[in-house]
Amino acid sequence: MKTDKTPSYLIIGNGRVAKHLHSYFDLMKVPFLSWNRRENSESQLLSMLEAMKEAASPIVLLPIKDSAIQEFFDKHISRFNYTAYHFSGASVIKNVLSAHPLMTFGHELYDSDFYKKIFFAVSSKSNFKKHFPFLPNPAFELHNDNKPLYHALCVMSGNFPNILWNSCLNVFKSLNIPQEAAFLYLQKTLENFCKDPKNSLTGPLVRNDKDTIDKNLTALSPNMRDVYKAFVKFYFNQFKNV
């Protein structure tokens, strides 16, 4: 007889997403099993999977690197006929459902209020709610054909500014500009964008101030000059139609 006493969830891996899932499930008081190659053996994985047969609705979560998901599922999970989820924003995995959290995950864990706000890009909203009834998270459906574009946008919007900010911070430091001053500027820039994305841009691009743009380009190192030129070209092609 299958019961609700056996944990219904097994989380595979020990990367950042796995650790945040552990934390979120703990905060929501949801029991789960966990396994990773560094700390556990394959025989322990098999024992966990066998034990989950007693659960009412066994679900295996695979927050592991994209290139390993299909092979891991085929080798270890497929024979059990359990529901499985992966968390890749770009990949489509055969016989594995998708739930990509549209969020960045650092080393520091979040609190429950923040976790609950995270949106998930899912293959099916109804399945997501059925399989994770304890999660209040908003979700939106994403067609498999759109996943590569969706993930490319995630990478560009979430990671490229980070690279640019770190490069600028290094130069600010060389000019003896306090880091706190730069952080305040960046914080307000992001706040203004979130309040009014279409009207938040300031500076020489929005003014079409070519003299200032030329001075900026002259002052920059070759690598940063290339980035500046690329943004100028993108801005005027994308938004100014020139």
Of the candidates 75, 70, 71, which has an alpha carbon nearest to the alpha carbon of residue 92? Answer: 70
Task: Return the pLDDT at 168.
Answer: 97
Q: What is the mean pLDDT of each run of 10 residues along the chain (242 residues)?
A: 66 98 97 96 97 94 97 97 96 97 97 98 96 97 97 97 96 97 97 96 94 97 96 88 46
Q: How far is CA 95 from CA 65, 81, 210, 218, in A?
A: 17, 10, 54, 54
Full-model pTM: 0.90
Task: Return the pLDDT at 239.
Answer: 77
Phi, psi of 9 (to 5 degrees): -120, 135
Distance between CA atoms of residues 28 and 84, nearest Å: 20
Angle at 13 between CA 9 and CA 15, to 5 degrees: 125
Task: Return the pLDDT at 97.
Answer: 97
